[in-house]
């Protein structure tokens, strides 16, 4: 059970004043101290037991649960696990393999884009040697840039073919 508010266990003697501070869980040391204080009072209706529980916002069922934890040895500082998920064991070789795999994939993508740009340039240069007027050459370069844009970045396709940005997006 998680406690949303509890009193600060500064002094285990009886006090009429309580200081409330928000804490989600009790530490093992705090549990042991409260349990020892609770168990030091006689059983069978001692009002100090009830006062201790109400002072710290606890229930007798929590004391029973903490007794079980103490019996199992779960309230020792060594038995309390650190908060959060346990770290996975790291294998440096697997990390290096993953890093190199990502690098190979990135370089293959760059190579594919470069080859596509070179093919487009070759095709465009072959068209340039034939006699086309400027308007026809512009239409061909715009169409070639739009065809190459999905394969390479738009900026690379435009720059390779000399197509202005405004003309490229206006033609779409």
pLDDT tens digits, residue range 44-87?
Answer: 888 898 898 888 888 889 999 989 988 888 777 666 667 788 88
Split into its structural domains, the chain has a count of 2
pLDDT above 80: residue 39: yes
Do residues 144 and 123 make contact, with C-beta atoms less than 8 angstroms apart?
Answer: yes
End residue of a domain, out of 25, 54, 72: 72
Place of tokens 């795999």: 101
Is 30 exposed, middle or buried (CB count within 10 Å of its CB: 0-12, 13-18, 19+)? Answer: middle
Answering whether pTM is above 0.75, one says no
118 and 65 together in one domain:
no
Q: Quick check: is 87 in a domain? A: no
End residue of a domain, out of 72, 100, 121: 72
CA dihedral 157, 163, 166, 168 (to 10 degrees): -50
pLDDT, tens digit (0-9, with 9 covering 90-100), for 121-161: 777 677 665 556 667 767 777 777 777 777 667 677 767 66
Domain of 158 in residue numbering reads as: 111-170
Q: Quick check: is 164 in a domain? A: yes
pLDDT above 50: residue 97: yes
d(CA 5, CA 58): 10
């Amino acid at each position: 059970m998680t406690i949303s508010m509890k009193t600060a266990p500064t002094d285990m003697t009886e006090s009429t004043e309580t200081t409330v501070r928000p804490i989600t869980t009790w530490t093992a040391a705090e549990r042991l101290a409260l349990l020892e204080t609770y168990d030091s009072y006689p059983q069978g209706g001692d009002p100090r037991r009830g006062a201790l529980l109400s002072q710290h916002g606890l229930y007798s069922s929590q004391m029973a649960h903490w007794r079980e934890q103490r019996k199992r040895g779960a309230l020792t500082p060594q038995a309390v696990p650190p908060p959060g998920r346990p770290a996975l064991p790291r294998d440096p070789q697997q990390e290096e393999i993953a890093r190199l795999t990502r690098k190979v994939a990135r370089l293959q993508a760059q190579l594919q884009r470069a080859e596509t740009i070179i093919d487009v340039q070759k095709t465009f240069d072959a068209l340039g040697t034939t006699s086309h007027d400027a308007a026809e050459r512009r239409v061909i370069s715009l169409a070639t840039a739009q065809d190459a844009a999905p394969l390479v970045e738009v900026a690379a396709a435009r720059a390779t073919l000399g197509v202005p940005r405004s003309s490229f997006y206006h033609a779409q």
